[in-house]
Structure 1
Amino acid sequence: MARIRTKLGAALVGLAALSLSLSACGGGGSDDGGSGGADGEAIDTSNASGDISYWLWDAGQLPAYQACADAFHAANPNVNVKISQYSWDDYWGKITNGFVAGDAPDVFTDHLSKYGEFVSQDQLVPLDATLAKDGFNTNQYQPGLADLWVGQDGKRYGLPKDFDTTAIFYNQSLVKAGGYSASDLQDLQWNPTDGGSYEKVIAHLTMDTNGKRGDEAGFDKSKIKVYGLGLDGGSGGNGAGQTQWSMYTGSTATPWTYTDKNPWGTHYNYDQPQFQEAFGWFKSLIDKGYMPSVAQVTGQDESSIFTAGKYAMVTNGSWNTNALAGNKDLAVGLAPNPVGPSGKRASMYNGLADSIWVGSKNKPAAAKWVEFLGSPDCQNIVGEKSVVFPAIPSATEKAQAAFKSKGIDVSPFLVQVQDKTTFLFPITDHAAGITNILQPAMDNVLSGKAEVSSLTEANDQINQLFQ
């Protein structure tokens, strides 16, 4: 699933213009491959054969899914799956351009922020009739994941492949040097007034080039050697803040939600006081020198900065566990997100799925591959590779055990699911337009160019998209 995954910003920019282009092109493809799938009728997968293409964006997951493709081919020797991997920044542009050009992949890893618009553009094949015909069990996944891929029309457009939550990664050496133990980080508290014990730890772990800590007299915030908390530039300003601030806005005293309902809300809530107070506190960490600025992290890879010892802690997603905690030369620990004014922790709960492009010329093989991807046969393989948490619970357990064998305790990610303190990624229409409005607005706030209250105007502009 994993990913956001969280780099939701730049990749969405072109979708608004693309919608018009697709309309002119007849929706990007109506050929059902002569074997079902058009208008939602069942696809006959019984005699699937031939070649299909499958795209994903996460290089870390490529070996796991190649292993799935090998197992699939062994069971279906008449079908060949060719996997292509592109970086997040290139992936969605290639997908949407492929819709227009008629050469998009047969099957691709899909994201909750994207599929609503793809459905409105008639780019995805409804799976319901095919799954019913093949007796596929859509109730085998972690609670709630399968339902996320049912569109506003009541049709299913993807099978869950994984899920993710967020937690705190910390540099054990820097934490120990700051006088803290692992247990000190397990029950931190935050609030938007003074940041609570969480901000105290962040401040103390921050150090300037003269060796002064953030909570000591003489601290120079203009010359930082180690930031107490890193800033993930990859998901900056996209309106979801999955790895940045969602764990704070999700645990406010008065519960804050992105939209009036989820999925398929029609009114956003970035104008509400509890959101702006939490976001303002998050921005204050930059002002105090405890967290880097947007300019400092733009175009930078957070995992590289963290593993270089420049951040004491980072908040990030479970899909980045190997990148952040898999370095054998750096001892890394995991801690759960801080408890907020609500009295609970909070984490965004996101999940990816695999979808079939409506223009596929080989829908029987594509559908059979999607069913395999969504089955225990593939998800157990993925779990054993310890890269993400597969959507099927038994495969999730295999992933947890595989991470443990590598010395990584991933329970801080899973406790959010067990304690039911997660909230969903906001799923609505107009994703491209929303990002086009929010990205500059949030970046301006974090950069000090605008007040937090300016997000009210941005919120009004977003809600006008639904009029």
Structure 2
Amino acid sequence: MVTTAGLVLSGCGQGGEQNNNVIDYWLWDTQQMPAYQQCADLFQEENPEYTVNVTQTGWGDYWQRLTAGFLADTGPDVFVNHVSRYPQYADLDVLLPLDEQPATADQREDDYAEGLTDIWTGSDGHRYGSPKDWDTIAMFYNNQHLEDAGVSPEELGSLEWNPEDGGSFEATIAHLTVDSNGVRGDEPGFDKDNVAVYGLGLSDAGGGTFGQGQWSAFANSNGWQATDTPLWGTEYNYDDPQLHETLDWYFGLSDKGYMPRFGQFNEDDGTLQQLMSGSVAVVTDGSWMIPAYAGNESVDVGTARLPAGPNGTAPSMINGLADSISAETDNPEAAAQWVEFLGSEQCQSVVAEAAVVFPAREDAVERTEDIWREQGINTEAFTGPIDDGDTFFMPVTSHGADVTALTGPAFQEIWADRPPSAEVLDPMNGAINDLFIADAAAQED
């Protein structure tokens, strides 16, 4: 609340002594830094009157530094934005509408992966981000563990689940689980309290707000939608019984010994470390992690589609980052020209060649797929849901920071203490929706 009030009162943007010919560009991903520095060099060759300064800050400090920059007039002209953050910035009028800038007004929706421009269109109809990449979720697996269990990649990629008995997915995860005596999770005598290899990995304190890389696809395939509308909803559905039964089944895998209990691994031991150490057989994770999994030569890693759920689909949450312009940039024209270049075929081809993420432009994705296939990664596990129309948006709503503050501890509690999820989520859902009720009341007044 203090931060929000400060932004409202103080404004944000570049200080008066800034050089109007210098474009400050901020991002958080160190893996993407080289590609965007190359784009900056190409942009400067075509526009010698401008200099682009690219600054990388780790995710943990990025948003704090960005907010402080808005407050102190020391922020960037252009920065990489996330859908969980931009609604608040849009509400506070610290973002420049791209559809009102000559250089970015005519960006074509069909140049980019389907739905990406929808994500970055605000509730007021203005566009606040130029798509730069996209991601979906799939399974990564340790091929040696699959071979030892007699499970083929094709079998793993064609499983189904349900909240009653977990279906063939739970049966396979149980079979991939091995205790310290070599007994598998589906065999008599399995010791769930002394597990050597878990069938399914889990980290990130239970998935946070939307369970993006953890339980989101299971809940969606069981009929759950986070908000009343896919984008810019005003009512959350954490009190939905379909979500409750999904989560009770999902986190119940840890009770059975098929998935780690809360605190089983150190906080720094994410799903990547769990898989690479041989401690788990399968993890669910995002396409942005492909280079990390593929780059570790000590483990033969493969990918597979997520299991189909009760509604017959095998969906994946789709998300996409974008470039936004600070509303107080000293040179909106230069900033917009840089943003337009970032989303152009020329820059996106550089991003594709770096093979760190799927580029936002349709004409650049194929090159990234080719590179990853050469590294042994089955990209269909990530592109298939898009081709089949089995994707759903990461929710975009107001009050994102408040929702995150409430949901993070709640999902951690569900994993750590294992209460019925309804006991935790129902009152929390009421507190979240009260925020939107207060908004509606304020508008009426």
TM range (shorter): over 0.9
TM superposition score normalised by structure 2: 0.93
Match of 1:202 among 160, 163, 173: 173
Q: Summarize deviations over 1:436-460 as a string: whole Å, max 9, x none.
A: 1111111111112532112111111
- Unpaired runs of 5+ residues, structure 2, are 438-445
From 292, 295, 307, the counterpart of 1:323: 292
Shift of 1:288: 1.1
Aligned 8 A contact 2:176 2:184 in 1: yes
Task: Tell me if the contact between 2:25 and 2:54 (Cα under 8 Å) persists in the aligned partners.
Answer: yes
Aligned to 1:166: 137
- The structural deviation recorded for 1:51 is 1.7
Match of 2:442 in 1: none
Greater shift in the superposed pair: 292-301 or 261-270 = 292-301
- The change in CA–CA distance for 1:384 and 1:132 in structure 2 (over 3 A counts) is closer
Aligned to 1:266: 234
Map of 1:335 onto structure 2: 304
Alignment of 1:370-389 (within 5 A): 370-389=339-358
Q: CA deviation at 1:134?
A: 6.6
Report matched runs for 1:301-450 at 5 Å: 301-448=270-417, 450=419
Secondary structure (helix, strand or coil) at the match of 1:194 reads coil
Look up the equivalent residue of 1:456 and give its one-letter code: D
Which residue of 2 is the match for residue 126 of structure 1? 97
Number of the residue aligned with 1:232? 203
The structural deviation recorded for 1:361 is: 2.4
Matched, 1:104 2:75: yes
The alpha-carbon deviation at position 229 of structure 1 amounts to 0.6
Contact map agreement 1:32 1:363 (CA 8 A) in 2: no
Distance 1:328 1:131 in 2: 47
Q: Is the 8 A contact 1:30 1:358 kept in 2?
A: no
Q: How does 1:2-41 map to 2 (within 5 A)?
A: 16-25=1-10, 27-29=11-13
Q: By how many angstroms is 1:370 displaced?
A: 0.6
Q: Find out whether 1:73 has 2:63 as its counterpart.
A: no
Q: Summarize the Cα distance change of 1:301–1:84 in structure 2 as closer, same or farther, 3 Å threshold.
A: farther
Structure 1: segments with no counterpart, 5+ residues: 1-15, 35-47
Aligned to 1:38: none
Looking at structure 1, the residues matched to 373 and 130 of structure 2 have their Cα atoms a distance apart, in angstroms, of 27
AA aligned to 1:367 is: A
1:461 paired with 2:445, answer no
What one-letter code is carried by the residue in structure 1 that aligns with 2:209? G
Distance 2:104 2:426 in 1: 49
Deviation at 1:237, TM superposition (A): 4.4
Matches of 2:366 and 2:176, distance apart in 1: 34
Match of 1:217 among 188, 213, 219: 188
TM-score by length of 1: 0.89
Task: Report the 3-state secondary structure (helix = DSSP H, G, I; strand = E; otherwise coil) of the residue aligned with 2:31.
Answer: helix
- Find the aligned partners of 1:393 and 1:444 in 2 and give their Cα distance: 41
Structure 1's 277 and 120: CA in aligned 2 closer, same or farther, altered over 3 A? Answer: same
**CA deviation string 1:316-347 (max 9, x = no partner):** 01110111232122111110010111111010
What does the per-residue CA deviation read over 1:350-386, in whole Å, with 9 as the maximum and x for residues that have no partner?
A: 1110001122223332211111111111111111211
Separation in 1 of the partners of 2:303 and 2:104? 44
Q: Which moved more, 1:443-452 or 1:108-117?
A: 443-452
Q: Which string of whole-angstrom CA distances, capped at 9 and with x for unpartnered residues, describes residues 422-446 of structure 1? A: 0000000001111111111111111
Q: How far 1:102 sits from its partner (Å)?
A: 1.5
**For residues 125 and 375 of structure 1, do their structure 2 counterparts lie closer, same or farther at Cα, with a shift above 3 Å needed?**
same
Distance in 2 (CA, whole Å) between partners of 1:388 and 1:292 is 28
Q: Which amino acid aligns with 1:50?
A: N
Mapped to 2, the partners of 1:309 and 1:30 lie a distance apart of 48
Q: Distance in 2 between matches of 1:30 and 1:51?
A: 11
C-alpha RMSD of the superposition: 2.0
- Pair 409,33 (structure 1): closer, same or farther in 2 beyond 3 Å: farther
Q: Identify the residue that residue 243 of structure 1 maps to in structure 2.
A: 213
Residues in 1 aligned to 2:337 and 2:287: alpha-carbon distance in whole angstroms: 28
* Aligned counterparts of 1:32 and 1:296: Cα–Cα separation in 2: 52
Distance 2:107 2:153 in 1: 44
Q: Distance in 1 between matches of 2:105 and 2:62?
A: 31
Verify the 8 A CA contact 1:49 1:364 in the aligned structure 2: no
Deviates more, 1:359-368 or 1:345-354: 359-368
Bigger mean CA offset, 206-215 vs 356-365: 356-365
Aligned residue pair count: 435
Quote the sequence identity (%): 45
2:83 alignment partner, SS class: coil
Q: Do 1:49 and 1:78's aligned partners in 2 also have CA atoms closer than 8 Å?
A: no
2:378 aligned counterpart, secondary structure = coil
SS at match of 2:348: helix
| Worse-superposed segment, 185-194 or 84-93 | 84-93
- Contact 2:304/2:378 (8 A) holds in 1: no
* Structure 1 residue ranges (4+ consecutive) displaced by more than 6 angstroms after TM superposition: 30-34
Partner Cα distance (1:133, 1:266) in 2:
29
In structure 2, the partner of 1:295 is 263
- By how many angstroms is 1:249 displaced? 0.5
Name the CA shift for 1:135/1:443 in 2 (closer, same or farther; >3 Å). closer
Give the distance between the partners of 1:312 and 1:332, measured in 2 at CA: 10
What is the identity, as a one-letter code, of the residue corresponding to 1:247? A
Residues 406-428 of structure 1 show CA distances to partners (whole Å, capped at 9, x for unaligned) of: 22221110000000000000000
User: For the residues of structure 2 that align with 1:133 and 1:433, how far apart are their CA atoms?
Assistant: 31
